[in-house]
Structure 1
Amino acid sequence: MTALREPAVSEALAATDPLRLEVRAFVDEERAAGRFAPIADAWLAGWDEDFSRRLGERGWLGMTLPAEYGGHGRSALERFAVTEELLAAAAPVAAHWIADRQIGPSLLRFGTEEQRRMYLPGIARGEVYFGIGMSEPDSGSDLASVRTKGVRTDGGWLVTGTKVWTSGAHHAHAFFALVRTAPLDTSHRHAGLSQLIVPLDSTGVTIRPIHLLTGEHHFNEVVLDEVFVPDSMVLGEVGQGWHQVTSELAFERSGPERFLSTYPLIAVLVDALAQRADCAGRRELGLLLARLATLRAMSLDVAASLSSGVAQDVPAALVKDLGTRFEGEVVALADSLLDVEPDLDSDDPTRRLLAQAVLHTPGFTIRGGTNEILRGVVARGMGVR
């Protein structure tokens, strides 16, 4: 990972400073108007369609998409700057998050012209929302073991199976479903997989809520019972689903959300420790901040490389593994140093924020691929057997 050592990348990053100031001013106005309050894990929990539309109006969604599809033709580093500022402010970005982060780039790379024109302009406006149909019961992060089947029928496919942990499916318009369209070949488990675009209001789709420990409803189980998907909604090529989904996962795993979900707690910790007469906890916080700087550099490097089309699955897996472990350690340090008891129902924002973070922590190292699976990806990428 060397891109950040190149002067051109550093200069490009510095050039995003005016854009960052615009985003900060916008976020300050939104917060002052009472439109949102910081929460832990805002990119997952903060579903606010009006907020997403206001971002779209400012050209801060679909930033790297071409203008012909409603995008703005801006650089990956400019998009990174906007994303980072929104995450640092714990802004409610969940509604557009998946669509803007990975669906848009995947449609641009693998989609047909019809699919691009159907979805990309709405994604850029903050008006079209997507879920991810990868994980399944008893499959977890082993995507090669998916059992959802697509059976050939006249003009398309009949899809039957179950997807779980589908963020935002109860609000989303559609999701990309990873489906087995050919019988499993145990010697080539990644063969025979395809991606289909499934509108979530289709006949045969049932969406069931999966509630978090906090009582919040972000995840879902999506049951597909002979759902008809026309050939026009096949993403890319039939049988190339594994190659496509691996490319998509690089976007999902490498972004700053993998280490900034708990950033509001870091800000609280910095303020709290600055007011103490003793130095307790400052060394531990300093070590965490040093790691944060390293994770940011790694994530930036992947962001700068993704637009080149070079495979980034291994660096992305590394960012996700290290970043989500870091997030858990932030919560643990905050819980040990802040002189408050976590309480979801408290009027004290710090107690409420800490409670949210503590209850969300178990999911950090699971979503987007368990850390055990990701370490396998990294090891194989480095030639370790």
Structure 2
Amino acid sequence: MSAIPFPAPPADSEEVLALRAEFRAFLHKQLGGRSPRQRSDNWYGFSRDFSRAMGQAGYLGMTWPKQYGGHERSAFERYVVVEESLAAGAPVGAHWIADRQSGPSILKFGTDEQKETILPGIAAGELAFGIGMSEPDSGSDLAATRTKAVRDGDVYRVTGTKVWTSFAHKADYVILFCRTSGTPADRHQGTSQLLVNLKATPGLTIKPIIDLAGQHHFNEMHFEDAVVPARNLLGQEGDGWNQVMSELAFERSGPERFLSSIELMLQLLDVLKGRTDDAALATIGRLTAQLAVLRRLSRSVAAMLQNKQDAGLQAAIVKDVGAVWEQTLPDFARQLVDAEPDPRSASAYAGVLANIVHNAPSWSLRGGTREILRGIIARGLGTR
């Protein structure tokens, strides 16, 4: 069995510590009146105004070249901004996917025209993206994609369905993973990525998926001979699998993989103040220790990405272990506190608990199901 290395993340520099304090002050000014229930939504919250404020203050596209609206700062400086945003329960949905993975993919694989047209808009907080990967009956098995794009002169004609597309009803673009040749039996071969304008693509229909909490974050996207300009091909035709694997390292490794439920942890600590029984102390100690380990692993992946190392395997571990922590937190909370989850309750704790209980089942799906991730990890360990 092979070991999987996680390089030690560097200590925070003075510049990073100063940025953390500066950004906390920014968040307090922008979000000072946000309630615990609102904070528990963090990256499910969608606010164009907040994303524009982030862009204007220089907190988006932080690692990108200045010529594309970026700020040429380090991956760790960006990590600080992401971590503090989530901890504060900021409504990051209008820039989250674009800044985290779509922008870096365009920067790496895009044409000059794509970079010049799209990246400045993301850095300014003006352009929102969704993820066009998952499909009905295949989910995290991306290689089984059946959505087909056929070249027809200066356009691609796209037919197929995508599912679980966060904020497709509000976003401006998705990066669509599709098949430009062959069949699903070809697996990784013949796949490509297309930039799809959600506001101006004939033949595209977006339908809502309402989640357990009664909220509308997810969507289905139906492409019926939809017309996408050929110039919107991202990277090389047929190289979509390699490109999307590079993108998933950004998606799976960040602090959102263990901070989605952080408001419940904070509310739980508040409710348990003064409790000195063994059950409370042992549970909080265990949860805190696990959180510290997850944070270290995630920061290690950030260091690998900063050094342009392949972090796909390490990112899969962070995502899987983080989802387990997030999904078990409500169970521990309910063992320690005799309070029912109630979205209508005046109690901040009960309202936050209800929101986390309703949303937690999806957290082992987004970014790759547990079964897919553990297969990746098993191969990395040499046991499969």
TM-score, normalization by structure 1:
0.95
Question: In structure 2, what is the Cα distance between the partners aligned to 1:30 and 1:338?
Answer: 32
- Tell me the residue number matched to 2:228: 229
Mapping for residues 61-80 of structure 1, pairs under 5 Å:
61-80=60-79
Q: Deviations over 1:182-230 (max 9, x none)?
A: 11273x4100000001111211110000001111000000001111112
Equivalent position of 2:209 in the other structure: 210
Residue 196 of structure 1 corresponds to 194
Whole-angstrom CA distance in 2 between matches of 1:47 and 1:377: 32
1:246-261 equivalences under 5 Å are 246-261=245-260
Identical counterparts, % of pairs: 50
What does 1:12-27 correspond to in 2, within 5 Å? 12=13, 15-27=15-27
- Provide the rounded CA distance (Å) in 1 between the counterparts of 2:367 and 2:380: 18
Q: TM-score, normalised by structure 2?
A: 0.95
Could you say what secondary structure the match of 2:325 adopts?
helix
Which residue of the partner structure matches residue 117 of structure 1? 116
Q: C-alpha distance in 2, partners of 1:253/1:330?
A: 20
SS of structure 2 residue aligned to 1:190: coil
State the alpha-carbon separation in 2 of the partners of residues 162 and 183 from structure 1.
17
The count of aligned residue pairs is: 379
2:86 equivalent to 1:87: yes
Q: Which moved more, 1:139-148 or 1:30-39?
A: 30-39
Residue deviations 1:306-340, cap 9 Å, x none? 13332111101000000000001112112222332
- The code of the aligned residue for 2:7 comes to A
Residues 102 and 252 in structure 1, CA contact (< 8 A), matched pair in contact too: yes
Partners of 2:6 and 2:301 within 8 A in 1: no
Alignment correspondent of 2:7 = 3
SS of alignment partner, residue 171 of structure 1: coil
**Distance change in 2, residues 1:129/1:350 (3 Å):** same
Q: Measure, in 2, the Cα distance between the counterparts of 1:185 and 1:158.
A: 18
Which structure 2 residues correspond to residues 28-107 of structure 1 after superposition, within 5 A?
A: 28-33=28-33, 38-43=38-43, 45-107=44-106
Structure 1 stretch 301-310 or stretch 95-104: which is displaced more? Answer: 301-310
1:175 Cα deviation (Å)?
Answer: 0.3
Q: Is the 8 A contact 2:159 2:223 kept in 1?
A: yes
Note closer, same or farther for the CA distance 1:293–1:250 as it changes in structure 2 (3 Å cut).
same
Q: What amino acid is the match of 1:127?
A: E
CA distance in 2, matches of 1:250, 1:120: 20
Secondary structure of 2:309's partner? coil
**Distance apart, 1:32 and its partner CA:** 2.8
Q: Distance in 2 between matches of 1:30 and 1:178?
A: 35
Cα drift, residue 117 of structure 1: 1.0
Q: Which runs of 5+ in 1 are unaligned?
A: none
Cα contact 1:175–1:200 (8 A) shared by 2: yes
Supply the distance in 2 between the matched residues of 1:154 and 1:31 (Cα, whole angstroms).
49
Q: In structure 1, what is the equivalent of residue 301 of structure 2? A: 302
Q: Which runs of 4 or more aligned residues in structure 1 lie more than 3 Å from their structure 2 counterparts after TM superposition?
A: 33-39, 277-280
User: How far apart, in 2, do the equivalents of 1:345 and 1:204 lie?
Assistant: 40
SS in structure 2 opposite 1:16? helix
Tell me the distance in 1 between the aligned counterparts of 2:244 and 2:38: 32
> What is the Cα deviation at residue 22 of structure 1?
1.4
How far has the Cα of 1:145 moved from its partner?
A: 0.5
Q: Secondary structure at the match of 1:10?
A: coil
- Aligned mates of 1:326, 1:254 — CA distance in 2: 14
Q: Spell out, residue by residue over 1:245-279, the C-alpha distance to the aligned partner (whole angstroms, 9 max, x if none).
A: 00000000000000000111111122222222534
Give CA-to-partner distance per residue, 1:39-79, whole Å, 9 cap, x none.
32411x21111111111111111111110000111000000
Separation of aligned partners in 1, 2:19 and 2:11: 15
Other structure's SS at 2:39 match: coil
> Partner of 1:94: helix, strand, or coil?
coil
Query: What is the rounded CA distance, in whole Å, between the counterparts of 2:184 and 2:97 in structure 1?
Result: 31
Q: Is the Cα contact below 8 Å between 1:146 and 1:180 reproduced in 2? A: yes
Q: Which amino acid aligns with 1:197?
A: L
2:315 match: 316
Aligned counterpart, 1:161: 160
| Partner Cα separation in structure 1 for residue 214 and residue 169 of structure 2 | 16
Q: Which amino acid aligns with 1:3?
A: P
The whole-number CA distance in structure 1 between the counterparts of 2:113 and 2:62 is 20
Cα distance in structure 1, aligned partners of 2:312 and 2:382 = 14
Aligned residue identity for 1:243: N
